């Protein structure tokens, strides 16, 4: 509860923390892509506090209302809190909606199994609606149109475009083929120093150790390669492709296997846990690990892991200190 109030204070006291946040949909006719801006580390950190605060609000609400199973009003209040989590959009990212929806559905279905059908339909429908709006914004260039309706009417988004975008975001065969080509064209740059940089740079809390490195990360080199040096971001380097670049064909699935192993271990914990805290944040990180083969790369997995680790550890320790102080 304390962290929720802290996050609420950040929301009101630091306007820059909410500059890259939207609710339900991103406004049309912005002139440029909403996710194209660059933000400082402080702004990123403050924004993450707000997102984590929303998750903690979900946990707090569940703890307060889980004993009132007969209260349909209480359940709908929790669904409203879950909707706020799902509908809060970070930049143009759709992954946050997927992970938040999964965590909220898992937590509420586990807490209120007698209402799981109602919970699943309500939250899944909400998530699909928001993801549809985000996809329209991203692929129909809504930021250049007067409205979402005009974007749909004026843009010829056919089956080919849909297939191409699915291939891109699900890291299909063309993406993997580009990694093979990248390996041939960039032979000699995949050193152990660069691989360590790839592991440390996205890890929140220890990334300062490589802050002054003169090397570019592998994903930057990959994006420069696939865009002919026009952009250093925008395309995901698959985890299997990343591992292939450094360890070859035989060990290419290594990192994915590690992620899946951790996901299986986490699944055991989630099935048996009665903790609302572990249920929410554990399922949030579980879906990130479980979906690592598609629509994910090593940087997003490490960043998510480090953020969840830091914030949950901090919140847990603060709550324990608070509980002990109450007993004194």
CA angle 14–10–100, rounded 5-degree value: 115
* Structure tokens that stand for 127 in this block: 């998530």
DSSP 71: -
The answer to whether the predicted template modeling score (pTM) of the entire model surpasses 0.85 is no
What pLDDT sits at residue 102? 92
Q: What is the average pLDDT across 245-262?
A: 84
- Mean pLDDT for all residues in the chain: 78
Indicate if the pLDDT at residue 23 is higher than 70. yes
Name residue, tokens 């320790």.
Answer: 317
Which is more confidently placed, 129 or 315? 129
Indicate if the pLDDT at residue 29 is higher than 70. no
Q: What is the average pLDDT across 211-235?
A: 79
CA-to-CA distance for 192 and 189, rounded, in angstroms?
Answer: 10
What pLDDT sits at residue 123? 92
Q: Name the range with the highest mean pLDDT among 79-83, 129-133, 152-156.
A: 79-83
Which is more confidently placed, 327 or 60? 60
Indicate if the pLDDT at residue 200 is higher than 70. yes
Q: How far is CA 162 from CA 98, 149, 176, 186, in A?
A: 19, 18, 19, 31
Question: Mapping DSSP to helix (H, G, I), strand (E, B) and coil, where does residue 26 land?
Answer: coil
pLDDT bucket at 39, cuts 50 / 70 / 90: low
CA-to-CA distance for 299 and 222, rounded, in angstroms?
Answer: 13
pLDDT bucket at 203, cuts 50 / 70 / 90: confident
What pLDDT sits at residue 125? 92
User: Is the backbone of residue 157 left (phi > 0), alpha (psi -120 to 50) or beta?
Assistant: beta
Name residue, tokens 């990343």.
Answer: 242
The 10s digit of each residue's pLDDT in 149-198 is 776 666 665 666 666 666 666 666 777 888 888 888 887 888 888 888 88
Q: What is the average pLDDT across 205-224?
A: 80
What lies within 8 Å, CB to CB, of 142 at 6+ separation is: 26, 28, 136, 148, 151
Backbone φ and ψ of 90, nearest 5° = -100, 110
Domain boundaries, the chain: 1-157, 169-328
In this structure, of 101-105, 107-111, 162-166, 256-260, the range with the lowest mean pLDDT score is 162-166
What pLDDT sits at residue 157? 59
- CB-side neighbour CA atoms (13 Å) of 53: 19
Percent of the chain whose pLDDT exceeds 90: 8
What pLDDT sits at residue 122? 92
What pLDDT sits at residue 120? 93
CA-to-CA distance for 77 and 86, rounded, in angstroms?
Answer: 14
What pLDDT sits at residue 158? 60
- CB-side neighbour CA atoms (13 Å) of 154: 11
CA angle 179–182–187, rounded 5-degree value: 130
Indicate if the pLDDT at residue 31 is higher than 70. no
Q: What is the average pLDDT across 98-120?
A: 90
Check: CB of residue 32 under 8 Å from CB of residue 143.
yes
Name residue, tokens 């946040």.
Answer: 21
pLDDT bucket at 62, cuts 50 / 70 / 90: confident
Q: Name the range with the highest mean pLDDT among 45-49, 51-55, 234-238.
A: 51-55
What pLDDT sits at residue 317? 76
């Amino acid at each position: 509860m304390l962290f929720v109030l802290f996050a609420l204070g950040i929301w009101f006291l630091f306007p820059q923390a909410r500059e890259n946040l939207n609710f339900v949909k991103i406004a049309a006719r912005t002139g440029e892509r909403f996710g194209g801006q660059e933000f400082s580390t402080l702004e990123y950190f403050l924004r993450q506090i707000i997102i984590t605060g929303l998750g903690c609000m979900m946990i707090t609400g569940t703890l307060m209302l889980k004993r009132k199973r007969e209260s349909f009003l209480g359940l709908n209040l929790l669904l409203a809190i879950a909707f706020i989590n799902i509908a809060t959009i970070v930049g143009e990212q759709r992954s946050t909606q997927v992970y938040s929806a999964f965590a909220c559905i898992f937590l509420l279905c586990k807490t209120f199994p007698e209402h799981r059908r109602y919970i699943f339909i309500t939250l899944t429908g909400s998530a699909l609606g928001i993801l549809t709006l985000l996809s329209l914004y991203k692929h129909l260039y809504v930021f250049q149109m007067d409205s979402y309706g005009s974007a749909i009417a004026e843009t010829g988004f056919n089956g080919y475009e849909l297939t191409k975008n699915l291939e891109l975001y699900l890291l299909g065969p063309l993406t993997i083929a580009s990694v093979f080509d990248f390996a041939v064209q960039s032979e000699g740059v995949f050193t152990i120093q660069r691989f360590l940089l790839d592991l440390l740079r996205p890890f929140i809390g220890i990334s300062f150790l490589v802050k002054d490195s003169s090397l570019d990360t592998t994903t930057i080199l990959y994006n420069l390669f696939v865009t002919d040096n026009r952009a250093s971001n925008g395309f995901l380097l698959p985890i299997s492709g990343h591992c292939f670049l450094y360890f070859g064909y035989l060990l290419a699935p290594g990192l994915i296997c590690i992620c899946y192993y951790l996901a299986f271990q986490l699944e055991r914990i989630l099935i048996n846990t009665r903790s609302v805290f572990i249920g929410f944040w554990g399922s949030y990180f579980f879906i990130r690990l479980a979906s690592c083969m598609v629509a994910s790369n090593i940087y997003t997995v490490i960043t998510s892991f480090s953020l969840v680790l830091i914030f949950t550890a901090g919140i847990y320790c603060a709550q324990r200190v608070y509980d002990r102080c109450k007993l004194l």
